[in-house]
């Protein structure tokens, strides 16, 4: 009798789970699991072999394709090809960026991601932003990152680049990232599946783009521009001041030492 | 491809970039790579903002991204100086070197297994020195996370 009820309960639960998987949320759940497993295999400390890395990459690509395939595609055109190529490059480059063992390569892959995101900005009609992303991000910020890497890291890859926080946190982090992505995609489900018969085809170039953007920036958002300029100046001054300070010497260093190290005796030479 | 499908595609791509950056930030231990992952998350958000701005035919999405780039530049400058100081202090970019600031009662994280890096001929070859003096007593905790060099 008891067994019957348990079996019935099990069958019912399995039916519910199957309906759930094949229902609206199924693709998102599947994408989360596949992407989490794939990325967890690829992250540092994971599998090293060629076959395992290929399987991990294939899982991530399948997960991304599943998420991208939940919306309509419309009639293909030149923009479709551009968007597909650029987003494939962006995704692969960012996967390689977070999985490679060498921080320098990481920065270079990030620059490739930025280039393709800049291309997507061009397709989406934001020419100024595409240019700014390539010039400011890929041209300046990534170079600062490379500069600091050159200053601080002599031997690559260091221990901390070859390992992660252990098996469970690695897969949990990967699953968490893909779960976040799937939730955002799920939240925009209604908008993406909007069937608008009057939706215009994509027009890539808009006339007088920069002029209108500058007009908006310096009329409606003038205060924000001033604040951003002040912030940049403050960051510049702050960075100079902080880099002039000798690292943690004096009374503050002693306090920090005592906090970090119970058997610290004041006056011990640092470094 | 019309406006709606372009919006949908850019939103999914932005979500994926954000998720990848989040996973990398949680899983990586190198402080500089963690900041790169933060920048990747910002890129995902910029894509979403541009897509929404285009969909609603409004300029505020792009303007917000311009301010985001400015703030990201400030953040990169300050954060990299901080990373530089932390690295000068403890001699390593490993964020686990700062785990002595963890909560009370939490056991320290110790690497169980460290995979071997395949030797591709680019590793340093250090000179072999003749041992001299008395070997100091080993301290496994200190050897794992050296407070200074």
Whole-prediction pTM? 0.81
Nearest-Cα residue of chain B relative to residue A214? B63
What is the Cβ-side half-sphere exposure of residue B43, based on CA atoms within 13 angstroms? 37
Residue B91, chain A, CB below 8 Å: the answer is yes
Q: What is the pLDDT of residue A269?
A: 46
Q: Is the pLDDT of residue B71 over 90?
A: yes
Nearest CA in chain A to B142: A261
Q: How confident is the model at residue B47 (pLDDT cuts 50, 70, 90)?
A: very high
Query: What would the pLDDT profile of A187-245 be if each residue is shown by its tens digit?
Result: 888 777 776 656 666 665 666 788 888 998 999 999 999 999 999 999 999 998 887 77
Tens digits of residue pLDDT in A9-68: 888 888 887 777 777 778 888 889 999 999 999 998 888 788 988 999 999 999 998 888
> Do A228 and B71 touch, CB atoms closer than 8 A?
yes
Q: How far is CA A28 from the centre of its chain?
A: 18
* Confidence check: pLDDT of B148 > 70: no
Q: Which residues contact B73 (CB under 8 A, 6 or more apart)?
A: A136, A140, A141, A232, A235
If one compares B104 and A176, the residue with the highest pLDDT of the two is: A176
Q: What is the ipTM of this complex?
A: 0.82
Q: Which two tokens stand for residue A29?
A: 């759940």
Which DSSP letter does residue A245 get?
S
Residue among A116, A155, A114 at smallest CA distance from A137: A114
Complete DSSP assignment for B69-94: HHHHHHHHHHHHHHHHHHHHHHS--B
- Which residues of chain A make contact with B81, given a CB cutoff of 8 A? 238-239, 242-243
Reported as a single tens digit per residue, the pLDDT across B86-96 is 887 777 788 88
pLDDT greater than 50 at residue A94: yes
Say whether residue B38 is in contact with chain A using an 8 A CB cutoff. no
B65 touches B46 (CB < 8 A)? yes
Mutant choice from A87, A193, A205, A257 vs B, greatest count of B C-beta within 10 A: A87
Q: How many CB atoms lie within 10 A of CB A271?
A: 12
Euclidean distance between CA atoms B82 and B90, whole angstroms: 12
Query: Is B68 part of the contact surface with chain A (CB cutoff 8 Å)?
Result: no
Of B82 and A244, which is predicted with more confidence?
A: B82
- Phi-psi label, residue A247: left if phi above 0, alpha if psi -120 to 50, beta otherwise: beta
**In this model, does residue B144 exceed pLDDT 50?**
yes
The contacts of residue A187 (CB under 8 Å, 6+ apart) are none
Residue A271's pLDDT band (cuts 50, 70, 90)? very low
Interchain CB contact of B110 with A (< 8 Å):
no
Nearest CA to B39 out of A164, A117, A235 is that of: A117
Mean pLDDT across A6-11: 88
Q: Using the beta-carbon criterion (under 8 Å), do B69 and A133 form an inter-chain contact?
A: yes
Torsion region of B133: left, alpha or beta (phi above 0 gives left; psi -120 to 50 gives alpha): left
SS3 content of chain A, % helix, strand, coil (to 5): 75, 0, 25
**Token digits of residue A103:** 């921080």
Is the Cβ pair B76, A144 closer than 8 Å? yes
**pLDDT for position A6:** 85
Question: Percent of chain A at pLDDT above 90?
Answer: 37
Listed ranges A96-100, A164-168, B98-102; the one with the highest mean pLDDT: A96-100
**What are the chain A neighbours of B142 within 8 Å (beta carbons)?**
none
Q: Which of residues 30-89 of A touch B (CB under 8 A)?
A: 35, 39, 43-45, 48, 64, 67-68, 70-77, 79-80, 83, 87
Q: Could you read off the pLDDT of A229-255 as tens digits, one per residue?
A: 999 999 999 998 887 776 555 556 666
Q: What is the pLDDT of residue B142?
A: 66
Give the residue from B25, B43, B54, B55 showing the smallest Cα distance to A87. Answer: B43
Stronger pLDDT, B111 or A242, i.e. the higher one: A242
B29 to A133: CB separation less than 8 angstroms, yes or no: no
Q: Residue B42 and residue B38: Cα distance in Å, rounded?
A: 6
Select from B31, B4, B68, B52 the least CA-distant residue to A106: B31
- Which residues 84-123 of chain A have a CB within 8 Å of chain B? 87, 90-91, 94-95, 97-98, 101, 103, 106-107, 110, 113-114, 117, 120-121, 123
Q: What per-residue confidence (pLDDT) applies to A112?
A: 96
How many other β-carbons are positioned within 10 Å of the β-carbon of residue A12?
10
Half-sphere exposure of A206 (CA within 13 A, CB side): 18
Q: What is the mean pLDDT of residues A84-108?
A: 93
Question: How close are the terminal C-alpha atoms of chain B, in Å?
Answer: 58
Higher-scoring residue by pLDDT: B42, A157? B42
Per-residue b or e along A101-123, where b marks 16 or more CB atoms closer than 10 Å to that residue's CB: bbbbebbbbbbbbbbbbbbbbbb
Interface test with chain A among B36, B44, B75, B95, by most A beta carbons within 10 Å: B36
């Amino acid at each position: 009798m008891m067994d019957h009820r348990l079996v019935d309960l099990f069958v019912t639960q399995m039916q519910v789970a199957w309906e759930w998987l094949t229902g609206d949320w199924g693709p998102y759940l599947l994408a989360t699991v596949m992407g989490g497993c794939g990325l967890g295999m690829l992250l540092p400390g994971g599998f090293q072999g060629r076959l395992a890395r290929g399987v991990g990459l294939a899982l991530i690509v399948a997960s991304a394709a599943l998420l991208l395939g939940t919306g309509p595609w419309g009639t293909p055109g030149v923009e479709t090809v551009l968007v597909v190529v650029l987003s494939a490059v962006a995704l692969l480059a960012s996967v390689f960026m977070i999985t490679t063992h060498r921080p320098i390569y990481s920065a270079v892959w990030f620059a490739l991601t930025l280039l393709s995101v800049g291309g997507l900005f061009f397709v989406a009609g934001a020419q100024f932003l595409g240019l700014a992303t390539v010039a400011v991000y890929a041209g300046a910020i990534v170079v600062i990152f490379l500069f600091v890497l050159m200053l601080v890291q002599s031997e690559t890859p260091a221990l901390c680049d070859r390992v992660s926080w252990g098996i469970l946190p690695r897969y949990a982090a990967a699953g968490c990232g893909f779960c976040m992505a799937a939730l955002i995609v799920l939240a925009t489900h209604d908008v993406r599946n909007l069937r608008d018969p009057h939706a215009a085809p994509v027009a890539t170039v808009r006339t007088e783009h920069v002029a209108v953007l500058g007009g908006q920036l310096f009329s409606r958002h003038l205060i924000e521009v001033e604040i951003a300029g002040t912030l940049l100046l403050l960051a510049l001054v702050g960075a100079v001041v902080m880099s002039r300070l000798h690292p943690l010497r004096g009374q503050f260093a002693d306090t920090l030492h005592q906090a970090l190290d119970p058997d610290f005796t004041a006056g011990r030479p640092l470094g | 491809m019309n406006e709606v499908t372009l919006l949908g595609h850019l939103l999914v791509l932005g979500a994926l970039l954000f998720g990848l950056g989040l996973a990398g930030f949680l899983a990586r231990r190198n402080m500089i790579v963690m900041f790169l992952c933060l920048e990747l998350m910002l890129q995902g958000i910029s894509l979403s903002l541009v897509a929404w701005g285009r969909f609603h035919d409004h300029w505020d999405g792009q303007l917000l991204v311009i301010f985001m780039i400015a703030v990201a530049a400030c953040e990169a400058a300050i954060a990299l100086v901080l990373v530089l100081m932390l690295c000068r202090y403890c001699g390593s970019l490993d964020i686990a070197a700062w785990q002595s600031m963890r909560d009370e009662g939490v056991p320290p994280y110790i690497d169980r297994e460290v995979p071997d890096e395949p030797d591709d001929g680019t590793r340093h070859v250090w000179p072999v020195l003749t041992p001299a003096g008395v070997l100091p007593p080993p301290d496994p905790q200190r050897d794992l996370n050296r407070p200074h060099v």
